[in-house]
């Protein structure tokens, strides 16, 4: 993991002191709320429905046990005993007091954490594959470059007041687990003919009210010129992105309105000027950062495989967990374990202080002190010896964290919705809870197989509903809540945006509608191997529409 040196530590404490001063000026009334808003946002502090919300950065989703314990401590001391892991691989606390925020930031600083740029119209936390550095299919570990981007973009003087927020996602493997085509910039690791490693650059993707799939702007940017290339894109966006309408201010609209070729021309012209300048990354320095992310000291393991079928007979719940929550590791004898934060009837992504402590202990004992947060709002122990899986599972069972549902219908992404969010049109957590109760039966979930449901409480799409195989969007209808259903979204390298298939449903009818869709899929699929999204692509929307709305 990256470790702060004196400079990093001084930077974070400098930023904390700066923000503390800003908070004090707000409390004293010297700053108006209008003047304070962008300042607090740039440090991850939102004003929500009931209270302030503080969003803490988990750079590229990587945490140590010590950091997780600190988060548990903050949840316990300054919040109501829990935190919420987000689709940005960050964590949010929903109930801090404004006057406590400086203390929280100091606590975070003591474990090399901060909330810099987790909000506001600036470059946000770079997200990446939760299995980075562990996945068997990886070309390179994207985290060293993600760390370099984090540093380059921290309090960038030119890009702190962009037209709108800006999100960068990176994938080090061809199987995109970071939804890079739905970010302002997506970086896909690539190799050129000479075998050099670089990045395929995608631009202008995003969700929100105008979902767009990113477009490839450059098929290969050498690693050493990546920052220069990013700066070129940022400058074009900062200068020409729309500022007249906040709903049209993301780079996706600029790319859409001007056309990829125009933007590409501007970016290339800028790149020609800055390329080879101060932002050139020397290989030795990339190597130096990379050593922070060196693989842990893996040991030769007695067991390299586990007989899931056998385990399933002995203990079905454990078998199910093995089946769904284990990802293959590039080191023989090891596996990555996904810890589901989607218990039946729970609020997706929430973890209590005790749960955080348990997970921290497990990471320390079984996963070389490392943890990951996934953009699907789960946690990961990236490097667990196969021989330790049972012990890890048993510990998770004791803490209500052993749900073996990763990738299944109950592993939903869900935004905070009307329960917390000031912008919401509708509740979303209760809908997710109701759906997970409907499909609680493990056999049923196994029968359905891979199916991603994603729920947003309003058009801002924080719950990524556009890229759910089934998406659910809360809208306001004559003072009540109504839920639109979309089908066919996909966040991976086969990116697609879901389509609305008909009129919305009342809250109480949503679980029934989802059951109808699932039943239709099971009835029409060619075999149990054909997933929901594959079947939808083959069949089109007609049979689903008919099942939901009749043949009118």
Phi-psi region of 105 (alpha: psi -120 to 50; beta: other; left: phi over 0): alpha
Query: Rounded to whole angstroms, how far apart are CA atoms 293 and 288?
Result: 10
> CB 268: neighbour CB atoms within 10 A?
15
Query: Rounded to whole angstroms, how far apart are CA atoms 188 and 202?
Result: 8
Choose, by CB under 8 A, the member of 72, 135, 148, 373 that binds another protein: 148
Closer residue to ligand SF4 in complex, CB, 223/456: 456
> Taking Cα atoms as reference points, which of 106, 123, 110, 104 lies closest to residue 4?
110
Q: Quote the DSSP letter at residue 111.
A: T
To which H or E segment does residue 84 belong? Answer: strand 82-85
Closer residue to ligand SF4 in complex, CB, 72/453: 453
Q: Which stretch binds another protein (CB under 8 A): 14-22, 253-261, 361-369, 526-534?
A: 14-22
Task: State the minimum distance, in angstroms, from the CB of residue 114 to another protein.
Answer: 11
CB proximity list for 436: less than 8 A, separation 6 or greater: 342, 343, 344, 345, 346, 410, 412
To which H or E segment does residue 253 belong? Answer: helix 251-258
Does residue 257 interact with another protein by CB under 8 A? no
- Using CB under 8 A as the binding rule, the residues of this chain from 225 to 244 that contact another protein are 227, 235, 238-239, 243
- Using CB under 8 A as the binding rule, the residues of this chain from 85 to 124 that contact another protein are 121
Query: Rounded to whole angstroms, how far apart are CA atoms 357 and 265?
Result: 51
Choose, by CB under 8 A, the member of 35, 175, 494, 509 that binds another protein: 35
Closer residue to another protein in complex, CB, 35/494: 35
Which residues share a beta bridge with 484? 473
Binding at 235: pick from ligand SF4, another protein, none (beta carbon under 5-8 Å per type): another protein
Task: State the minimum distance, in angstroms, from the CB of residue 205 to ligand SF4.
Answer: 17
Task: State the minimum distance, in angstroms, from the CB of residue 550 to another protein.
Answer: 50
Closer residue to another protein in complex, CB, 246/437: 246
> Taking Cα atoms as reference points, which of 157, 120, 125 lies closest to residue 37?
120
Task: State the minimum distance, in angstroms, from the CB of residue 463 to ligand SF4.
Answer: 6
Please tell me the total number of residues recorded for the chain in this structure: 552
Query: Rounded to whole angstroms, how far apart are CA atoms 224 and 284?
Result: 11
> CB 140: neighbour CB atoms within 10 A?
20
Binding at 38: pick from another protein, ligand SF4, none (beta carbon under 5-8 Å per type): another protein
Q: Where are the alpha helices (DSSP H) in 48-142?
A: 65-78, 101-110
Contact between 280 and 271 under an 8 Å Cβ cutoff? The reply is: no
Task: State the minimum distance, in angstroms, from the CB of residue 345 to ligand SF4.
Answer: 20
Closer residue to another protein in complex, CB, 102/400: 102
Does residue 159 interact with another protein by CB under 8 A? yes
Task: State the minimum distance, in angstroms, from the CB of residue 370 to another protein.
Answer: 24
Query: Rounded to whole angstroms, how far apart are CA atoms 121 and 102?
Result: 22
CB proximity list for 247: less than 8 A, separation 6 or greater: 209, 210
CB proximity list for 316: less than 8 A, separation 6 or greater: 442
Q: Quote the DSSP letter at residue 142.
A: S
Binding at 158: pick from another protein, ligand SF4, none (beta carbon under 5-8 Å per type): another protein
Binding at 159: pick from another protein, ligand SF4, none (beta carbon under 5-8 Å per type): another protein
Binding at 416: pick from ligand SF4, another protein, none (beta carbon under 5-8 Å per type): ligand SF4
Task: State the minimum distance, in angstroms, from the CB of residue 255 to ligand SF4.
Answer: 23
Choose, by CB under 8 A, the member of 49, 98, 111, 155 that binds another protein: 155
Choose, by CB under 8 A, the member of 15, 70, 215, 225 that binds another protein: 15
Task: State the minimum distance, in angstroms, from the CB of residue 461 to ligand SF4.
Answer: 6
Q: Where are the alpha helices (DSSP H) in 315-373?
A: 316-325, 353-366
Choose, by CB under 8 A, the member of 162, 217, 356, 373 that binds another protein: 162
Binding residues for ligand SF4 (CB under 6 A): 415-417, 421, 423-424, 428, 456-458, 460-463
Closer residue to another protein in complex, CB, 57/513: 57
Closer residue to another protein in complex, CB, 18/175: 18
Contacts 24+ apart (CB under 8 A), 26-32: 26/98, 27/98, 27/99
Binding at 39: pick from ligand SF4, another protein, none (beta carbon under 5-8 Å per type): another protein
Q: In the structure encoding, which two tokens stand for residue 92, read together?
A: 């949010």
Task: State the minimum distance, in angstroms, from the CB of residue 155 to another protein.
Answer: 6
Query: Rounded to whole angstroms, how far apart are CA atoms 397 and 365?
Result: 17
Summarize as ranges the residues that interact with another protein (CB under 8 A). 7, 10-11, 14-15, 18, 21-22, 25, 30, 35, 38-39, 121, 148, 151-162, 227, 235, 238-239, 243, 273, 278-279, 281-282, 285-286, 289
């Amino acid at each position: 993991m990256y470790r702060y040196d004196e400079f990093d530590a001084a930077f974070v404490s400098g930023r904390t002191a700066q923000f503390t001063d800003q908070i004090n000026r707000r409390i004293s009334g010297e700053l108006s709320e209008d003047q304070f808003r962008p300042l607090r946002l740039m440090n991850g502090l939102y004003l929500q429905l009931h209270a302030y919300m503080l969003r803490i950065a988990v750079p590229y989703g990587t945490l140590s046990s010590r950091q997780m314990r600190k988060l548990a401590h903050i949840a316990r001391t300054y919040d109501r005993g829990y935190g919420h892991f987000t689709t940005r691989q960050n964590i949010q606390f929903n109930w801090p007091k404004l006057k406590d925020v400086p203390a929280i930031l100091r606590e975070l600083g003591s474990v090399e954490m901060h909330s810099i740029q987790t909000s506001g119209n600036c470059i946000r936390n770079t997200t990446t594959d939760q299995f980075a550095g562990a996945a068997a299919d990886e070309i390179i570990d994207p985290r060293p470059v993600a760390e370099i981007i984090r540093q380059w973009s921290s309090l960038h003087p030119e890009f702190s007041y962009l037209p709108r927020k800006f999100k960068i996602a990176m994938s080090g493997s061809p199987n995109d687990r970071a939804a890079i085509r739905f970010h302002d910039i997506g970086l896909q690791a690539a190799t050129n003919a000479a075998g050099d490693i670089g990045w395929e650059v995608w631009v202008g993707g995003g969700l929100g009210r105008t979902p767009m799939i990113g477009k490839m702007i450059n098929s290969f940017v050498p690693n050493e010129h990546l920052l220069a290339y990013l700066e070129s894109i940022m400058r074009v966006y900062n200068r020409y992105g729309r500022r007249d309408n906040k709903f049209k201010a993301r780079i996706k609209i600029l790319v859409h309105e001007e056309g990829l070729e125009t933007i590409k021309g501007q970016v290339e012209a800028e790149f020609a000027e800055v390329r080879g300048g101060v932002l050139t990354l020397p290989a030795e320095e990339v190597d130096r950062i990379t050593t922070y992310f060196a693989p842990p000291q893996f040991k030769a393991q007695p067991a390299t495989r586990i007989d899931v079928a056998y385990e399933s007979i002995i203990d079905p719940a454990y078998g199910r967990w093995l089946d769904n929550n284990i990802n293959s590791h590039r080191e023989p004898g090891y596996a990555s374990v996904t810890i589901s934060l989607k218990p039946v009837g729970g609020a997706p992504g929430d973890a209590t202080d005790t749960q955080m402590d348990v997970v921290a202990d497990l990471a320390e004992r079984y996963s070389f002190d490392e943890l990951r947060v996934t953009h699907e709002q789960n946690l990961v122990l990236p490097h667990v010896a196969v021989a330790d899986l049972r012990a890890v599972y048993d510990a998770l069972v004791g803490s209500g964290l052993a749900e073996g549902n990763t990738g299944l219908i109950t592993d939903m992404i869900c935004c905070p919705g009307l329960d917390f969010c000031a912008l919401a049109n509708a509740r979303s957590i209760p809908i997710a809870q109701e759906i997970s109760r409907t499909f609680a039966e493990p056999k049923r979930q196994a029968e359905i197989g891979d199916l991603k449901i994603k729920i947003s409480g309003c058009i801002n799409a924080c719950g990524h509903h556009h890229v759910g195989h089934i998406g659910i969007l809360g809208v306001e209808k004559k003072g009540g809540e109504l839920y639109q259903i979309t089908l066919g979204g996909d966040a991976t390298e086969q990116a697609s945006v879901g389509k609305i298939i008909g009129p919305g449903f009342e809250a109480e009818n949503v679980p029934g509608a989802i059951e109808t869709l699932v039943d239709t899929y099971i009835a029409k699929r060619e075999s149990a191997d054909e997933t929901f999204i594959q079947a939808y692509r083959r069949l089109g929307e007609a049979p689903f529409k008919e099942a939901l709305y009749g043949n009118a």
